[in-house]
Amino acid sequence: MSSRDMPDGHPDVAALAGLLADRSRAAFCLALLDGHAWTVTELARYAGVAVSTATEHLNLLVAGGLLTEERRGRHRYLRLAGADTAELIENLAARAPRRPTPVRSLTDANRRRALAHARVCYDHLAGSLAVAIADGMTASGLLTWEHGPRLTERGIAWLVEADIATDTPPPGRQPHIRTCLDWTEQRLHLAGALGAALYGHMVAAGWLAEAGPSRIITLTPAGRTGLRDHLGLPDAALVPVG
């Protein structure tokens, strides 16, 4: 198809790809997968660039619609534009080639294991634990993958009984389920409203603990017991490995 055959207003995929073609801009987007708002100075320090350089890159990301900004006094805060943007970044990360980086210390090795096991992806859980939860819901008959991911009647009732959802959908209607391709596991984990509801419930119940400014999420002893009892997750899925 030639350019003259393209419909008016066709998507400029090259422009979007260009926004992420710079490693500093890509690093900013990956950092913001934690769902928090960062200052320009924090993002510059994270990517190892000057504040002036970070500002130029961030202006491009805001103009391109990947980030939004908020002013609080003299400070400028940046965050991802939304959950759909976070899923886009996570899916791209899953398909991106891996650049080998040396492990410089035991602390670094432990951090990598923990990040691969459980991390926040904007508003839902990612990592091998998130994949194991999707597997556990499937094995328990709460979730089916026929014609795409779908809650079973038993799954809908389970969400209501566990106070993860407050009501059932109308007859014949299914809650919309979105998924992310996990970049460390190369398998799908639950995203969208269901993923966010599950994550929020587990944090509120004390099953998951957020580790400060890091994306790393810690599974608590109560969480290990709960996931083992409610979803039948094996012990190997409940601890970081590698």
**Model pLDDT for residues 95-117, shown as the tens digit of each residue:** 888 777 777 788 878 888 999 99
User: What local confidence, expressed as pLDDT, does residue 105 receive?
Assistant: 81
**Model pLDDT for residues 149-208, shown as the tens digit of each residue:** 999 999 988 988 888 875 555 555 555 688 999 988 999 999 988 999 999 999 999 999
User: What local confidence, expressed as pLDDT, does residue 206 receive?
Assistant: 96
Write down the pTM of the prediction.
0.81
User: What local confidence, expressed as pLDDT, does residue 2 receive?
Assistant: 46
User: What local confidence, expressed as pLDDT, does residue 176 receive?
Assistant: 66
Indicate if the pLDDT at residue 43 is higher than 80.
Answer: yes
Residue 151 structure tokens:
């809650």
User: What local confidence, expressed as pLDDT, does residue 107 receive?
Assistant: 80
**Model pLDDT for residues 74-85, shown as the tens digit of each residue:** 889 999 999 889
Indicate if the pLDDT at residue 6 is higher than 60.
Answer: no
HEC readout, 110-154: HHHHHHHHCEEECCEEECHHHHHHHHHHHHCCCEECCCCCEECHH
pLDDT band of residue 1 (cuts 50, 70, 90) is very low
> How many residues appear in the chain?
242
User: What local confidence, expressed as pLDDT, does residue 183 receive?
Assistant: 87
